[in-house]
Amino acid sequence: MMRLTSKSVALIPIIATVATVVIGATLIAPPAANAATTLGAAAQQSGRYFGTAVAAGRLGDSTYTGILNREFDMVTAENEMKMDATEPNQNQFSYGNADRIVNLARNQGKRIRGHALAWHSQQPRWMENMSGTALRNAMLNHVTQVATYYRGKIYAWDVVNEAFADGSGGGRRDSNLQRTGNDWIEAAFRAARAADPGAKLCYNDYNTDDWSHAKTQGVYRMVQDFKSRGVPIDCVGLQSHFNSQSPVPSNYQTTLQNFANLGVDVQITELDIEGSGSSQASNYDRVTRACLAVTRCTGITVWGIRDTDSWRASGTPLLFDGNGNKKAAYNSVLDALNAGGPGPTSTTTTTTTTTTSNDPGTGGCTAAVSLNQWNGGFVATIKVTAGSSALRGWRVTTTLSNGTVTSSWSANGSGTSGTVNWSNVDYNANVPAGQSTEFGFQGNGSGAGLNPSCTAS
């Protein structure tokens, strides 16, 4: 970042914009030469994967394995790597069914997502009854043993699954593991890293798709905290189980982008969408396009192959019907993946505008925008950084010449286009000297030329 100072204006209490630097890259994808004909091949065009959950009990079904072998390049064991399956008695490990899935995947050149090392649910009976230090040690031993057994074979592990509570608090879920101490999650991640340094380590949860939900915010803050303290975390899994009670949120892409902006990969790990026909197809299209629009959304896994294989079979939430025929939803996903590849179609530009205030009472601040632009829309994430003294409130001004804001988070905006003034909300007014806070907005049209400037208030 360039920085200019001028002694001649140093004592004048004015705001001066001093530097604007474009430090990002713009990538424009050429159209796909030949459309791919399977989900895995279509996803690979943009460097992504397309996976499915697999149940060992169905591997004798040739319709099932035929679709699996043909369509998917990533596999998750639906139940076979869970704690109750892999350690049925303490310190007696059992990998038979998991290995059947792992071996099939590896023989077919498919990668494997491991699910899940530590979870409050699906614990073996002996663990359910444990607590305190004994439980903490048993959990860490489990993580270490299982991740070591599969070292080098797993693309990404769901190290911890579903540790946050539903509802408005945004806090942790009560469980025997949580009661061993709030640091149980980071302890599990450290153990997993030590056991298999080559696997990506993910935190995985459901109902974390809507950016405005407290649970999403709680997970976001944990990942932010882990990144800031060097806890080894590489990815966030959004399970994305959708139905009429829990529809695909309008801000889904914003959620993916905001997690990605923390410096982690984002994966859609258990996708299913109840419904049928064109409405189901269009929801699948939206989810697929949202992932494609976020550079660090590295792949999508659906939670089963045929509707009849699903944990929610009556909701017909998958891409193949009970006979193994492709549904409209399948075609919409394939088309979206083909439209997205090769290469990311979105452009990511990072612009930094440095603004200084010379008012000795308030200190200065800087604003930097990271813009994710795609055809027809954008997400802007703006980082506000305090200068040499703490902020007790801040304002950022942006310019939207050819775009309109449709939603925003962590700031109040004065309008939706043209010059928009953003001001802090209660919880991010105070920013210590040299520290940062972020807010953002998404919109239709172009987010180019936002040119943010920051003032202390």
Q: Is 186 a catalytic residue?
A: no
d(CA 283, CA 118) in angstroms, rounded, equals 31
Q: How far is the CB of 54 from ligand G2I (least distance, A)?
A: 11
Nearest CA to 185 out of 170, 199, 203 is that of 203
**Active-site pick, 162, 186, 274, 438:** 162
**Active-site pick, 80, 270, 274, 438:** 270
DSSP codes of every residue in 376-436: TEEEEEEEEEE-SS-BS-EEEEEEESSEEEEEEESSEES-SSEEEEEE--GGGS-B-TT-E
Under a CB-based contact definition with an 8 Å cutoff, are residues 318 and 286 in contact?
no
Position of tokens 């360039």?
A: 2
Strands lying side by side in the sheet with 365-374: 15-22, 347-357, 365-374, 377-386, 436-445, 403-409
Q: Which is nearer to ligand G2I, 87 or 438 (CB)?
A: 87
Q: How far is the CB of 389 from ligand G2I (least distance, A)?
A: 46
Q: List, in sequence order, every residue forming a beta bridge with 203; answer none if it has no partner.
A: 160, 236
Q: Which is nearer to ligand G2I, 239 or 301 (CB)?
A: 239
Nearest CA to 75 out of 96, 99, 94 is that of 99
Q: Which is nearer to ligand G2I, 158 or 285 (CB)?
A: 158
Q: Residue with the closest Cβ to ligand G2I?
A: 311
Q: Which is nearer to ligand G2I, 83 or 420 (CB)?
A: 83
Q: How far is the CB of 52 from ligand G2I (least distance, A)?
A: 12
Q: How far is the CB of 122 from ligand G2I (least distance, A)?
A: 5
Q: How far is the CB of 274 from ligand G2I (least distance, A)?
A: 13
CB neighbourhood size of 311 (10 A): 15
Q: Is 270 a catalytic residue?
A: yes
Helix/strand/coil for 74: strand
Under a CB-based contact definition with an 8 Å cutoff, are residues 220 and 181 in contact?
no
Q: Which is nearer to ligand G2I, 98 or 371 (CB)?
A: 98
Binding site for ligand G2I (CB under 6 A): 78-79, 121-122, 206, 239, 270, 311
The catalytic residues are: 162, 270
